[in-house]
Amino acid sequence: MIAFLAMAPLDKSGDVSFILDKNQVENAPERMRVEQARYVGQDNNGQKFLIVANRALQRTSEQPIVDIWGMLARFGLAQGPVTVAANQGQYNLDQQKVTVQGPVRVAGPEGEQLVTRDVTVDLKQNVMTSDGGVAGRMELGQFEASRLRANLNDRTVVLDGGARLKIVQGAVR
């Protein structure tokens, strides 16, 4: 049977069908498991985005938590693409929040870089907050702070707790 199924696509005679008995198929212990997930779309402004995850797992339907590993997002902005990468996180289906444990790295189209850790993204409110320190650089200079809060709708970022900025003289003209 296995040899037939392996060779069937090479046969030019047409489609092959078979019946699979649902009682003889193993049930997965997880509610949902996805390998190499890829989501491509456009935002309300017509700008393209791509979100990928190496693996996602919802352990049971009673728990609204999806564990995610190997996250990468790429957003096409007018200035160029922005890339966001993180190792692992969780998505709460009920609260519509993504919680990232560990480092988060952001790279902008003009060499901007931001590194922070332990981030929560509230998809209902379009707000991102970090519980860990934040450091980065941009054309104007370098910055660091204890925490970060970003409003994705207003495109504003607030550095909180010991915020420091080192401006490069003559960098912006």
Per-residue pLDDT of 108-166, as tens digits, reads: 888 889 999 999 988 888 888 999 999 999 888 999 999 999 887 787 889 999 999 99
Tokens of 97: 């929040």
Tokens of 42: 């456009």
Within 13 Å, how many C-alpha atoms sit on residue 41's CB side? 8
Q: What is the pLDDT of residues 66-90, one digit of tens each?
A: 899 999 988 887 888 888 899 999 9
Q: Which residues of 9-34 are buried (b: 16+ CB within 10 A; e: fewer)?
A: eeeeeeeeeeeeeeeeeeeeeeeeee
Tokens of 44: 């309300």
Indicate the pTM of the whole model.
Answer: 0.71
Taking the C-alpha atoms of residue 50 and residue 77, their distance in angstroms, rounded to an integer, is 12
Taking the C-alpha atoms of residue 39 and residue 53, their distance in angstroms, rounded to an integer, is 9
Q: What is the pLDDT of residue 173?
A: 63
How does strand 97-107 pair with strand 164-167? unpaired
**Residue partners of 107: CB distance under 8 A and separation at least 6:** 82, 83, 113
